[in-house]
């Protein structure tokens, strides 16, 4: 069910209509088969890019659509309702464009049109094997050597590790702590950059995730984004936006699961009536419908703050926390509604449940979101 929305412009309505058309035509029919084969749908990302859906929140002068973040998130929700792996890929790619778009020089930003247009796919290299949530403690090091930085270390849990065309590498150029971190933009073909074997994940099988080893990889010094020591600020800025992207993905996935469960419950009959008419089941569905609406409202409210250039970090944390917890609950309940049928791959709800779990982990675990929110409360 596509939810009626109030959008700022006719152009925004047209973009959502376009997203719905492409999602129904290009995503929904392919999702199950690609997930079964664990095949990344690179051509779908190109199609979305050429349709202008990968650059929605970025400036038109750089090849973007200049749309409010509120509109971009609603597009993500539509995509996630048909195929979460694609929506997550769009979210990660948009996140990967953020450092250059916001902190790059005019000369560096000449790379943006191909990135935003989907011809070049991005990866965001922040997490490490021993440091996921504690980003300020990362150990991947970059040492200046003439006109380049020599990068050594390992990144972990990198979406698009094996298929990306460019990498945002967050690395240590100075001393310990956040002030010693910088951001480099590296091409995939850089010698010394070696994506490892893909992880065997619970869900999102068509989204490749892997470690990346950096073995004296020489990245041109002109690819330093924002200056030495700016990396942690860049990373946190991007993650605030990325958390809203994951929240929107969670809303779309939850809505898809609820819609499927409701449709099944209307048709499935037991004891002479549709099972949706049993109060114990119908009330659970009503509760989940309400949670999804609340998650959507939280997410879009945070987006409006971002669009108004007002502080939104705490609201993004709340949205990510609530929306992803909602997706986990709704997808689990959808499996329960279908009973034994929900536990087999003939129905998509078992995949929805497996996919929902990762949303509680990526872009900062939900424990970290609670920490961010509680610290804000403690500060008053």
Distance, CA of 291 to CA of 245 (rounded, Å): 18
- Is the distance from CB of 319 to CB of 298 less than 8 angstroms? yes
Compute the half-sphere exposure of residue 153: CA atoms within 13 Å on the CB side of its CA. 23
Q: Is 363 a catalytic residue?
A: yes
Q: If we measure between CA atoms, which residue out of 130, 124, 142 comes closest to residue 192?
A: 142
Which of helix, strand or coil describes residue 224?
strand
Cα 125 to Cα 20, 84, 154, 195, distances in angstroms: 31, 21, 9, 11
Residue 38 token pair: 């664990």
Q: Which residue has the tokens 């509604």?
A: 337
Cα 191 to Cα 124, 150, 213, distances in angstroms: 18, 11, 11
Distance, CA of 201 to CA of 204 (rounded, Å): 7
Cα 149 to Cα 144, 146, 172, 178, distances in angstroms: 4, 8, 11, 19
Distance, CA of 15 to CA of 11 (rounded, Å): 6
Distance, CA of 254 to CA of 268 (rounded, Å): 21
Q: Torsion over CA of 82, 85, 90 and 96, rounded to 10 degrees? A: 170
Q: Which residue has the tokens 């939900």?
A: 366
Residues in the chain: 380
- List of residues 6+ apart from 300 with CB closer than 8 A: 70, 73, 74
Q: What is the DSSP letter of 174?
A: S
Instruction: Please give the positions annotated as active site.
Output: 363
């Amino acid at each position: 069910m596509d939810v009626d929305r109030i959008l700022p412009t006719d152009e925004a309505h047209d973009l959502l209509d376009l997203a719905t058309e492409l999602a129904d035509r290009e995503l929904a029919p392919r999702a199950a088969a690609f997930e079964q084969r664990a095949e990344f749908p690179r051509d779908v990302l190109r199609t979305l890019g050429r349709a202008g859906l990968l650059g929605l929140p970025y400036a038109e002068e750089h090849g973007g659509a200049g749309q409010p973040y509120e509109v971009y998130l609603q597009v993500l929700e539509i995509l996630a309702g048909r195929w979460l792996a694609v929506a997550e890929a769009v979210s990660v790619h948009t996140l990967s464009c953020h450092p250059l778009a916001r902190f790059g020089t005019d000369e560096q930003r000449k790379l943006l049109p191909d990135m935003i247009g989907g011809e070049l796919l991005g990866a965001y290299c922040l997490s490490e094997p021993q440091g996921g949530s504690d980003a300020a403690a990362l150990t991947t090091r970059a040492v200046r050597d003439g006109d380049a930085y020599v990068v050594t270390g390992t990144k972990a849990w990198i979406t698009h590790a094996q298929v990306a065309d460019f990498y945002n590498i967050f690395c240590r150029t100075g001393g310990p702590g956040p002030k010693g971190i910088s951001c480099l933009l590296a091409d995939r073909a850089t010698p010394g950059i070696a994506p490892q074997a893909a992880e065997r994940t619970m869900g999102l099988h068509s989204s490749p995730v892997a470690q990346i080893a950096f073995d004296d990889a020489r990245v041109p010094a002109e690819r330093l984004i924002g200056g030495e020591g700016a990396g942690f600020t860049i990373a946190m800025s991007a993650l605030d936006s990325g958390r809203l992207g994951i929240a929107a993905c969670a809303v779309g996935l939850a809505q898809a699961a609820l819609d499927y469960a409701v449709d099944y419950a209307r048709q499935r009959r037991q004891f002479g009536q549709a099972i949706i008419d049993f109060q114990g089941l119908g009330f659970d569905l009503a509760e989940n419908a309400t949670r999804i609406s609340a998650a959507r409202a939280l997410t879009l409210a945070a987006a409006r703050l971002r669009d108004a250039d007002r502080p939104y970090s705490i609201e993004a944390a709340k949205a990510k926390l609530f929306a992803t917890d909602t997706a986990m609950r709704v997808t689990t309940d959808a499996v329960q509604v279908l009973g034994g049928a929900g536990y087999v791959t003939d129905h998509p709800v078992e995949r929805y449940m497996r996919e929902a779990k990762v949303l509680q982990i990526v872009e900062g675990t939900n424990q970290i979101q609670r920490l961010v929110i509680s610290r804000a409360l403690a500060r008053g």
